[in-house]
């Protein structure tokens, strides 16, 4: 089934519209005349959208870890606008702590937001998009969906899981005319590093050297301008056959090439052992 061409404004549903990329992309869609169901845990943080864009925006409270609230928000958006063209899973945060330091409850809480929350949104919108015969489901991952950094290994793992789910989803829903895309930003000057986007584990003194190294390296990163990403995302949702993955930023491709080159070298070095293990 080929995607149905959308004439006129697109209808968006965006999680995490209050800050960072979610706010930038919500504003970009509204500025060009599209219509958006903008969601956030605290709707006061996105109330200004209503003042600026009137009926073109629907403000909805949404905690993606609350499955019932997800269903209500998606239903309300569909009833208000009549269809859903673009759905972006953007809500998420990072747990800062080594593998030993992080507590199980904190790891689970992050996974509920970063992995299970997006799944709830996907499961809520798919019946609508199947009935329409079209739609585009996007999700904000990270270049860290391909490699890891010490101290945020659990966050990285949530993005690896996120990418695996989206990759499987892309194949499963292709015949319904639904596109799937993973957005993979590098380092950007967003509020992702703020207290609202980070959860810290208890620090063990044994990891002080690692912690200092990571924070020092992060401080040296060249961070992109989040406002500059709007054009790329609009181009992505307007593309007839959008890619499964799209980087945002100038350094990602070089980093990922090195990561996969190193992995392939190791696999090749152990290939004889692997083949012998076939039996």
Catalytic residues: 141, 155, 159
Q: What would the two tokens of residue 163 be?
A: 């990418």
- Closest Cα partner for 64 from 115, 12, 139? 115
Question: Which residue's entry shows tokens 């996105």?
Answer: 46
**Greatest CA span in the chain, whole angstroms?**
68
Q: Is the dihedral of CA 141, 146, 149, 153 positive or negative?
A: positive
Order of strands across the sheet that contains 245-248: 57-61, 35-40, 11-14, 86-89, 135-140, 178-185, 245-248
Residue 238 and residue 13: Cα distance in Å, rounded? 15
């Amino acid at each position: 089934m080929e995607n149905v061409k959308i004439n006129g404004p697109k209808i968006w549903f965006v999680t995490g519209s209050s800050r960072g990329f979610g706010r930038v992309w919500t504003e970009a869609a509204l500025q060009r005349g599209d219509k958006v169901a903008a969601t956030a845990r605290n709707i006061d943080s996105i109330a200004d959208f209503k003042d600026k864009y009137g009926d073109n925006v629907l403000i909805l409270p949404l905690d993606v870890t609350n499955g019932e609230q997800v269903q209500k928000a998606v239903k309300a958006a569909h009833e208000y606008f009549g269809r859903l063209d673009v759905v972006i899973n953007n809500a998420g945060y990072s747990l800062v702590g080594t593998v030993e330091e992080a507590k199980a409850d904190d790891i689970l809480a992050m996974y509920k937001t970063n992995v299970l929350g997006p799944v709830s949104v996907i499961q809520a919108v798919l019946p609508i998009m199947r009935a329409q015969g079209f739609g585009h489901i996007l999700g904000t991952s990270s270049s860290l969906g391909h490699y890891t950094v010490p101290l945020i290994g659990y966050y990285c793992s949530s993005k690896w899981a996120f990418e695996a789910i989206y990759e499987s989803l892309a194949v499963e829903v292709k015949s319904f005319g639904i596109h799937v895309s993973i957005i993979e930003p590098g380092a950007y000057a967003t509020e992702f590093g703020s207290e609202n986007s980070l959860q810290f584990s208890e620090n063990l003194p044994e990891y002080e050297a690692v912690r200092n190294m990571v924070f020092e390296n992060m401080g040296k990163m060249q961070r992109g301008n989040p406002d500059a990403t709007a054009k790329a995302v609009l181009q992505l949702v307007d593309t007839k056959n959008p890619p499964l993955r799209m980087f945002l930023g100038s350094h990602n491709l070089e980093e990922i090439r090195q990561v996969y080159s190193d992995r392939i070298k190791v696999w090749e070095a152990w290939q004889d052992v692997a083949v012998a293990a076939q039996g």
